[in-house]
Chain A
Amino acid sequence: MQNWWSLKLREVKANKHSYILLGPYMLLFALFTVLPVVISIVLSFTYFNMLEFPRFIGWQNYTRLFLEDDVFLIAIKNTLLFAVITGPISYVACFVFAWIINELSPKLRAVMTLVFYAPSISGNVFFIWLMIFSGDRYGIANGLMLKLGFILEPLQWLKTEAYILPIIILVQLWLSLGTGFLAFIAGLQTVDSTLYEAGAVDGIKNRWQELWYITLPSMRPQLMFGAVIQLTSAFAVADVSIALAGFPSVNYAAETIVTHLIDFGTTRFEMGYASSIAAVLFMIMVGSNLIVQKLLRKVGE
């Protein structure tokens, strides 16, 4: 045992340079990512209002969260709804459009990549959707439907519970072709072309078979990376909800776990309770990502 430690120590000393290069980044990473997760989990078992010292209260925050807080149940329902819809759809959309774009000529490919990527890169300007879904007749959505005679009165899109969720999902999808989409475009360009030629010889008949038997399996690393990116953002819906539906939204129709967290963290200063919300969100995000990674590892095996 003594020997093992001195061996490790010598190894650490030999790699001094590596640690020095890593040092500044890892220090900040620990301070702003690792430490906050630890603090959050610890605080979630306390009552803490920023003024008094945190008081340990065991699982009380969690029991309150799941048994007494009706709005949190709405938030969970909405978040899961957003994630179940926007997660898979955006993931498939990222791949399908990257795949179609990859068949185009290089010039057209560059243009279409820009067209699909532009919304997600354009600096959080999703407030332009407020102009599209504004409640008067000058908004595009109302104007068009009035003109075509589908409705007689302008609809209050963002103030009506039934429309809020679909609109947020629509905008979220519009924003979702981001880093994952670029990774797929890049991945498709690097699939070994000899595989396709070999496939044609081996009797692959059409593009669908080619996609299933050659393209998808060769892109497994990118598929896994894209899944993490898409899934994580699918659970984190908040900015769009706040910008479009207001905060709080009508009858909490657009409440998500993150907006609930913001409510308790920045408005009510119930930090212990807010931390337990954060801890639940953390578990959901990391847990679902790990499950999806396990599943994707099986693609084409």
Chain B
Amino acid sequence: MEERIAVYIHIPYCLNKCNYCDFYSLKIDEDETRAFTLALLEEIKHNSSNIKAKTLYLGGGTPTSLPTPLLKKIIESARQSFSLPISAELTVEANPETLDEEKLNMLIQVGVNRLSIGVQSFNDDLLRFLGRIHSAEKARSAIRKAKELGFENINIDLLFAIPGQSLDDWRRTLEETLSYEVTHISCYSLTFEKGTRLWKDWQMGKIQPLEEELSAEMFEEAHRMLTSRGFAHYEISNYALPGYECRHNLCYWRGEPYLGLGPYAVSFFPPHRLRNPSLKGYLKGKQAKVEEVVDEEERKKERLMLALRLSEGIEKSMLRENPLVEEMLREGLMEERGRRVRLTLKGMLVYNSIVSNLL
């Protein structure tokens, strides 16, 4: 029997592009969504004959920005085509602004069992700064509604190190998030990606990234608060209650193969990493192109780079002979767990430096 793999579906639409976002997303065009959906259904069908899914993840963009019937069709088709087991993780990403009762009910009805809500902050000033279209209040009601209608496995995405954010503000946002008793919390440090509005403002000197020390303290604060409330810090930016780690994302971090559908989505069938065309080409039926050939050597590098993001770490034997490893262990940047090594909290904070030393 064939190995099941993670299947990702990229919905490239948003109601509005956020100031910090460098994902492939476009302002939604209602007229186009039908053509898009048809193309996507075609792609699902085309790939269904030889692929079985172990997880299904709809990300974006904002999948919930699609008209409810279209989104419903996509999910149903994907579930069926890739024979997703009933107990398998099925995640949909959502913007609080798009989560009305009708949509939530539809999601439950088609078997979505994990909802990932992009809350980012419970501070309206910061939300405006980020260019989010929703208010804190809207996020609160969306979370309550989702829980009320029966979503048990909910992730909340948060951002920290936002210019103007204080440590106290960050604590309040974390505290409030915890109060909703969700199962999973992602805490992303805000980054200034090239091409974003935020980046431009920074280049023009209008804004400054948060000071490094404060940003590090926020990272540490999240760790302290969330782990003390039973969350495992299982990936650099991700926390989950035991058993609620995102199975889909774990596939990426463990270097497993995956299928990506939708415009600009990436698939990994070692040794090939393929990328779909952007929306224009996608609608014309253009095929995915090989983005990279990942040979054994590269695969090892990727395993190292991805596994060190996880608290499960990496087999010590996977690390090349490097006197720096001993230094890092001694300096408390890494720690040994049986035959595995992993980054400590201090080490996670300098992940890039560590990995670039070990690559």
The answer on A and B forming one complex is no
